Chains A and B, each alone.
Chain A
Amino acid sequence: MKFNSFSFLFSASLFAIVMSFSACHEHDDELTGTGSLEIEFDHLAGGQTLELGKSYTNAAGEAMSFSEFKYYVSNFSLVKSDGSVFTVPKDDCYFLISEKADGKNGTVKIDNIPAGDYKEFRFIIGVDSLKSVSPAAERTGVLDPAGEGAGMYWAWNSGYIFVKVEGESPAAPLDSVAGTRRFRYHIGLFGGFSAPTLNNIKSVSLSDAHGDVAKVRNSDHHAPHLHLYVDVLEMFTGPNNISVATNPTVMASPFSKNLADNYQDMFVLDHIHN
């Protein structure tokens, strides 16, 4: 009996020791290796869910309905709670986000992120200048002007359109041939490849208002999910109110800076699911 009780105690303590080791091991394992992060771009118009074809009112009081809302985000870097920065390899993270007719917005996933708690999420709106002057072989996927990137590339200027917003508004001038009143905002310009020119690439840095972090763990775990609100009407307000009546079409012109200054603040991190 005594032997048995000793044996029991021994086994129990051995079990406890093993357990604690394995717990430690498990804890270490959580913060080693790599995991993924999902980012959802949820499109709004004036705080409402964006629906293509539905009418909204901009800050200038003009009615607008949208047929297209599309933009590039790229060059992501993620800041851990301790302040260290993980830069996502550039070629893994060129995303073209587009409002779809079925209302399904883009959710993108970034893999191979070192496990850790991330408090800040940085990216640029647009395509960086290096990629904008790269050879054809480096323009694949969403950057392929003959593929997924069609309609987001200026052939005459070899640059990408960063943000494209099109639709109709009673405030826009009448196209007598088509019988429509359309507005077109194609905003790009990466700063020039030989001499500095207008640069409409904007840096965005987002963190949760309540201090929540994204807990990236190794691939056995569910990927944390950032829920971003992207309000298309923010393009028309902010540092500069844009009137469809005054500027129904803005493309590669100096005025495009005004829309770029507005879209810088278009992205809001609403919450994080872990």
Chain B
Amino acid sequence: MRHLLGLFILITILSFSCTTEDTNAWRGLEIPAHFPDPVFQVIVSEKGFELGRKLFYDPILSRDNTISCGSCHIQGSAFSHHGHDVSHGIDDRLGSRNAPAVQNMIWNSSFFWDGGVSHIDLISVSPIQNELEMDESFVNVIRKLNLKEDYRKLFKEVFGTDSVSGAYFLTAMSQFMSMLVTADSRYDRYVLGDATALDAVELEGKQLFEQKCASCHVGVLQSDFSFRNNGLKSEPFRDGGRYHVSLIESDKGKFKVPSLRNVAITAPYMHDGSLRTLESVLAHYALGVQKSSTLDPELEKNGVIGIPMSTEERTAIIRFLHTLTDDKFIRDPRFSEP
């Protein structure tokens, strides 16, 4: 009888937890009402997303099975590599660029700092094969996955095939990455009509940001996704950036304008991770811009190098940048290591 009672309680608890689960039921890929149309239309299924999530956190993608995507793209830092100027990959080798945040991917018109990858599906081949990151061959990743019965089973459930193929691997990765949508910061609530979501200083910072920063950091995603030289370095450029992709001389030293969503938690900053704090970023734009032949015209207006900003103005802008943090996104259990 006591056993039966225990069972009854257990069932009750289970059914309650099921009810709670239901509020987190699969809703698919949702486009926030205040966002523009995405560049990529990715069809996401629950099982495809879950498979992509498993792969994202699986070090099998690296040569010696030590590094996963999640090793350098940490959820708590909006899937960036907090604290590392340039990312350290396999054998602790150092890359030359800072790991960008994996968020709102379907609104990007190209990927990586130099925009070398043109389709969301093709993103993961690059870090897998980069010898400073995972240093593995894409062919071998697919071979290793095919040796694992659980993966063969999962790929069959999602794609109906008996073996793991490169195309389906990439599609699963896209499904996971497409779901990483961050659109629930205090700034978003303000945009959606909650006038109390920002305080007076943050609102002042927002206005200053719109005057001084929004010619490049445009709109609700704070980026026009163009390639610009922000005056971090002068010639000769150690990293040619966009030039490596376009081979156009005037692209030397240009990098993609990043979205500023979750910027307060994705330090360090810039393509090379050389600026550690938002204060140093604002100080760079106000005082430290280096002149060069490809410097963005927005940073050289009326013969003035940089963006004139007082200390108070910079402080207000930084207060505003903190309102772009989406606490729900960085704690969303759907996106964490399974």
Cβ distance A193 to chain B, nearest Cβ, rounded Å: 4
Complex CA distance for A192 and B167, rounded to whole angstroms? 22
A182 to chain B, nearest CB (A): 18
Which size bracket describes the interface of A in this complex?
20 to 34
On chain B, the residues within 8 Å of A134 by CB distance are: 119
A146-B138, A146-B141, A147-B139 known; A252-B130 Cβ under 8 A: no
A85 within 8 A of B: no
Closest Cβ neighbor of B145 among chain A residues: A146
Across-interface contacts of A177 in B (CB, < 8 A): none
CA distance A158 to B120 in the complex (A): 10
CA separation between A5 and B52, bound complex, in Å?
Answer: 86
Q: Which of A136, A194, A254 contacts B115 (CB 8 A)?
A: A194
B116 is contacted by which of A135, A146, A156, A253 (Cβ under 8 Å)?
A: A156
Could you list 22 A-B pairs, sorted by A, with CB under 8 Å?
Answer: A132-B118, A133-B119, A137-B167, A137-B168, A137-B171, A138-B167, A139-B167, A144-B166, A144-B167, A146-B138, A146-B166, A146-B167, A147-B142, A153-B125, A155-B125, A155-B126, A156-B116, A156-B126, A156-B130, A157-B116, A194-B110, A197-B245
Contact of B112 among A137, A156, A252 (CB under 8 A): A156
Q: Which residues of A202-240 are within 8 A (CB) of B? A: none
Known: A139-B166, A140-B165, A146-B169. 17 other contacts (CB 8 A): A136-B119, A136-B121, A136-B122, A136-B168, A136-B170, A144-B165, A144-B167, A145-B138, A146-B142, A156-B244, A192-B246, A194-B109, A194-B115, A194-B118, A195-B246, A252-B247, A254-B247
**B315: chain A residues within 8 A (beta carbon):** none
Q: Is the interface of B mostly helix, strand, loop or mixed?
A: helix
**B25 at interface (Cβ–Cβ under 8 A)?**
no
Interface string of A240-254 (1 = CB under 8 A from B): 000000000000111
Q: Which residue of A lies closest to B225 (CB)?
A: A194
Interface string of A144-178 (1 = CB under 8 A from B): 11110010010111100000000000000000000
> Which single member of A135, A145, A155 contacts B130 (CB below 8 Å)?
A155
- Measured CB to CB, the closest approach of chain A to B50, in angstroms, equals 18
Q: Residues of A contacting B87 with CB < 8 Å?
A: none
Contact B139 A136 (CB under 8 A): no
Q: How far is the CB of A264 from chain B (nearest CB, A)?
A: 19
A residues neighboring B (CB under 8 Å) = 132-140, 144-147, 150, 153, 155-158, 189, 192-195, 197-198, 252-254
Any A CB within 8 A of the CB of B1: no
Instruction: Determine whether the beta carbon of A155 is less than 8 Å from that of B171.
Output: no
Contacts of B129 on A, CB cut-off 8 Å? 155
Q: Which 9 A-B pairs have the closest CB atoms?
A: A146-B166, A136-B170, A136-B121, A193-B118, A155-B125, A155-B126, A158-B117, A146-B142, A133-B118
* Chain A neighbourhood of B117, CB < 8 A: 155-158
